[in-house]
Amino acid sequence: MSLKTGLVVLLLCMPGLLSAEWGGTYTEKEICAFKGSTVKLQCYLKFPPTEGGREIKVKETFWFTKDPKEDPRLDPQYFGGVQSECHGNMCSLTIADVRRSDEYTFRFTTDHSRGDFIVMPGVKVTVTDLKVQVSSRPRYENGKHWYDLKCVSDTCSPRSNSSYVWYKNGEEIQNAKSQVYTVGHDYENSYSCAVRGHEQAVSPPECVVDWFCNKVVYHKRHICAIQGSSVDITCEYTSYRNTLTQFWYRTNSSHWRNPSMTEDLRSDPQYEGRLELPSETTKKSTLRIKDVRQSDSAEYRFKFTIDGFEWRSTLPGSTLTVADVILFRKKSAANHNKAVGCKLDFGQWCSR
């Protein structure tokens, strides 16, 4: 079975079960998508343009997963990151930062008496993570031990002609493009991989020989918080030697004294009086931000230094999105501006 992967993936439907004139078509039945990528599903609608001299018009279009009445745009896992649109007979659903496997089905309603149509079967989207698989036994050649590192996925596989990106201690290794990368007997450094073009879906760093190589692993890649609450951003880190310094920073701070360098958040005036570093077990660090504001929305990373080495990985950290609570209103026949509740305005994808 051939599965496609992509930052943006186009899908059109399988033939519908209605008739040659009514239904829809998808281009792919299944797709393998990297966790964190953007997936775009498309469906081409088929229905007669007219009947009895009267034009047939589409009244409603709808994508769903399990329940035909549940709109994925309202799913809290994808709130703010799902967009549905139609241009002519082509309708699409775009999911930003896809995080779970599901089957997506399309239905539409026209002003024709036949009413509602569901295009079956739907499109199965399988979401996968990458990981570095280290060969269990090294090869001995030319007086040295060599380990093969392979970029793999447990659930589905990238296309056979994919090009890869390899990272050593979070920094890209130039000219390393194959699925397998070979290293010597390396105690100190960690390695990560990604499929080229989808570097945002990079694997966690992996040690080659022992577990205490240099690496940082974040507990959550995405964190959502309500304005005024407290947030814990946590990572675990290991180092080959004893650490000398460690601190948290954000990647887009406008308050840094030197924009070309990362600086400890504790020196950033916008966080004054709002940061805590609770005491943790060895090799675990938590950054607690109190009374979070929308201006705190950013990507946060952890840095440590040891004798002769500084962890300054370009790999993704933890992205915090702070939401405000806003009132929404709905027009009705009795009251054209009736308040019906409130919602969280994240402004982008976020899950709680």
**What's the average model confidence in pLDDT over 322-333?**
57
- How much is the pLDDT for 1? 37
Torsion on CA atoms 180, 184, 186, 189, rounded to nearest 10: -50
The 10s digit of each residue's pLDDT in 105-123 is 988 888 876 667 888 888 8
| Least confident stretch, 159-163, 277-281, 345-349 | 345-349
Percent of the chain topping pLDDT 90 = 30
**What's the average model confidence in pLDDT over 7-15?**
37
- Most confident option among 158-162, 196-200, 317-321: 317-321
**What's the average model confidence in pLDDT over 200-222?**
89
Percent of the chain topping pLDDT 70 = 78
Res. 151: pLDDT tops 60 = yes
**What's the average model confidence in pLDDT over 326-340?**
46
**What's the average model confidence in pLDDT over 186-198?**
91
Q: How confident is the model at residue 76 (pLDDT cuts 50, 70, 90)?
A: low
Res. 11: pLDDT tops 60 = no
- How much is the pLDDT for 260? 54
Give the sign of the dihedral formed by CA 146, CA 152, CA 157, CA 161.
Answer: negative
Domains of the chain and CATH, by start: 23-127 (2.60.40.10), 130-207 (2.60.40.10), 215-324 (2.60.40.10)
The answer for residues whose C-beta is within 8 angstroms of residue 253's C-beta and 6 or more apart is 263, 265, 268, 298
Q: How far apart are CA 19 and CA 46, in angstroms?
A: 9
Q: Which residues lie across from 182 on neighbouring strands? A: 148
- How much is the pLDDT for 82? 77
Calculate the average pLDDT of the chain: 79
Q: How far apart are CA 206 and CA 190, in angstroms?
A: 5
Query: What size, in residues, is the chain?
Result: 352
Q: How confident is the model at residue 67 (pLDDT cuts 50, 70, 90)?
A: low
Res. 75: pLDDT tops 80 = no
Amino acid at 107: R
- How much is the pLDDT for 51? 74
Res. 18: pLDDT tops 50 = no
Res. 191: pLDDT tops 90 = yes
The answer for residues whose C-beta is within 8 angstroms of residue 126's C-beta and 6 or more apart is 3, 30, 31, 32, 33, 101, 155, 156
- How much is the pLDDT for 2? 38
- How much is the pLDDT for 240? 85
| Least confident stretch, 6-10, 36-40, 152-156, 223-227 | 6-10
Res. 275: pLDDT tops 60 = yes
Q: How confident is the model at residue 332 (pLDDT cuts 50, 70, 90)?
A: very low
Res. 337: pLDDT tops 50 = no
**What's the average model confidence in pLDDT over 269-292?**
88
Res. 8: pLDDT tops 70 = no
**What's the average model confidence in pLDDT over 213-236?**
91
Res. 331: pLDDT tops 80 = no
Res. 48: pLDDT tops 90 = no
Amino acid at 101: S
Q: Which residues lie across from 287 on neighbouring strands? A: 233
Res. 252: pLDDT tops 80 = no
Q: Which phi and psi (to 5°) does residue 111 adopt?
A: -85, 10
The 10s digit of each residue's pLDDT in 20-47 is 477 788 878 888 888 877 888 999 888 8
Res. 70: pLDDT tops 80 = no
